[in-house]
């Protein structure tokens, strides 16, 4: 009787906690979207901000955030996935492996402001690039590599050994087994790491203050010359992101409608993260089905 009672109490407790978390998240998302509802229009999304004037938009900042996300993922995902494969499939127990694991864990707990200062020293000053999109992408790569590596390693290790043994029994090499069997089976976990990394890229501000900068030139989308300062394809121009702009608007308060701009930008940032997560899960499902041959 007591065991059944305790089981019911635990079940009710977990349902209450889960319901509270879901209600809290829904209310938080609803509040942010409600506060920024008046600015969710095409003009706000495409027009540039105005200095000390009301009615500015977030066009360059939104584009910079998306471009920074794409560049950072292009750099960090192959490196993080490769490191995860090495740690899960090739690394042998020993001092060298433990040093790598300790370094990854230490880097994952490092504050983003420290990574920003490191990026300022290496990617901004030593390279001579100045505040630039590439410097911000490399700083975020340093910040997100530990997460991508650990998630990839755990996802690959969670693949049953029976799948590897069946692949070896059919005459496949170890590399063929990893690319054709293990990685497709671990794709849902790897996709989780990519989504976590993308969310941090969209929301990061501290590291980008010292690398990507707090300004953005007026972008000319008809100019596709990568060396032009106003070209959207120029990776070495200053690139203020949406998260940095939200912080700057709130801290400076120079615009008469600074609160409305910040609310609208926060709503757009939230919608962008939700949209990317849904798209990444859909794309991950499509890739998983293609790699495994499922319909």
Tell me, what's the pLDDT at 287? 67
Rounded distance between C-alpha atoms, residue 190 and residue 188, angstroms: 6
Residue 267: which residues within 8 A CB-CB, separation 6 or more? 32, 33, 35, 36, 37, 39, 40
Tell me, what's the pLDDT at 18? 93
Rounded distance between C-alpha atoms, residue 73 and residue 125, angstroms: 23
204 lies in a domain?
Answer: yes
Tell me, what's the pLDDT at 105? 82
Full-model pTM: 0.84
248 lies in a domain?
Answer: yes
Tell me, what's the pLDDT at 293? 60
Report how far Cα 283 is from the mean position of its chain's Cα atoms: 16
Range of the domain at 86: 36-292
Tell me, what's the pLDDT at 159? 87
3-state class of 75 per DSSP?
helix
Any idea of the CA torsion for 139, 143, 148, 151, to the nearest 10 degrees? 180
Tell me, what's the pLDDT at 171? 86
237 lies in a domain?
Answer: yes
63 lies in a domain?
Answer: yes
Residue 49 burial (CB count, 10 A):
20
What's the Cα-to-Cα distance from 145 to each of 105, 193, 213, rounded to whole Å? 11, 10, 22
8 lies in a domain?
Answer: no
Tell me, what's the pLDDT at 74? 92
118 touches 145 (CB < 8 A): no
pLDDT in 10s for each residue of the chain, 295 residues = 677 777 888 889 999 999 999 999 999 989 988 888 888 888 888 888 887 777 778 888 889 998 999 999 999 999 999 999 998 888 888 888 888 888 888 888 888 888 999 999 999 999 989 899 999 999 999 988 888 898 898 889 888 888 888 888 888 888 889 888 888 888 888 887 888 788 888 888 888 989 988 888 888 878 788 888 888 888 899 988 888 988 888 877 677 778 888 888 888 888 888 887 788 777 767 766 766 665 5
Give the total number of structural domains in the chain: 1
275 lies in a domain?
Answer: yes
120 lies in a domain?
Answer: yes
Rounded distance between C-alpha atoms, residue 44 and residue 156, angstroms: 43
Listed residue (88, 67, 66, 71) closest to 189, CA to CA: 88
Half-sphere exposure of 98 (CA within 13 A, CB side): 3
Q: What is the CATH number of the domain that holds 276?
A: 1.10.3720.10
């Amino acid at each position: 009787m007591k065991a059944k009672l305790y089981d019911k109490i635990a079940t009710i407790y977990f349902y209450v906690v889960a319901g509270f978390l879901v209600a809290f998240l829904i209310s938080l998302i609803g509040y942010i979207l409600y506060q920024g509802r008046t600015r969710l229009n095409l003009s706000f999304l495409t027009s540039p901000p105005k200095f000390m004037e009301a009615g500015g938009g977030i066009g360059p900042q939104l584009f910079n955030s998306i471009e920074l996300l794409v560049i950072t993922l292009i750099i960090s995902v192959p490196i993080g996935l490769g490191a995860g494969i090495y740690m899960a499939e090739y690394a042998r127990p020993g001092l060298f492996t433990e040093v790598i694991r300790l370094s990854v864990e230490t880097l994952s707990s490092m504050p983003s402001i420290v990574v920003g200062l490191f990026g300022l020293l290496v990617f901004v000053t030593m390279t001579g690039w100045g505040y630039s999109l590439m410097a911000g992408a490399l700083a975020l790569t340093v910040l997100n590599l530990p997460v991508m590596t650990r998630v990839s390693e755990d996802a690959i290790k969670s693949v049953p050994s029976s799948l590897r043994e069946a692949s070896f029994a059919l005459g496949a090499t170890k590399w063929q087994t990893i690319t054709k069997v293990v990685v497709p089976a671990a794709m849902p976990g790897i996709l989780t790491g990519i989504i976590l990394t993308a969310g941090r890229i969209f929301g990061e501000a501290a590291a980008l203050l010292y690398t990507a900068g707090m300004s953005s030139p007026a972008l000319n989308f008809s100019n596709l010359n990568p060396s032009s300062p106003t070209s959207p394809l120029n990776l070495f121009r200053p690139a203020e992101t949406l998260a940095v702009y939200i912080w700057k608007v709130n801290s400076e308060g120079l615009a008469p409608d600074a609160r409305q701009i910040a609310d609208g930008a926060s709503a757009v940032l939230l919608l962008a993260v939700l949209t990317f997560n849904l798209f990444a899960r859909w794309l991950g499902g499509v890739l998983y089905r293609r790699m495994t041959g499922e319909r």
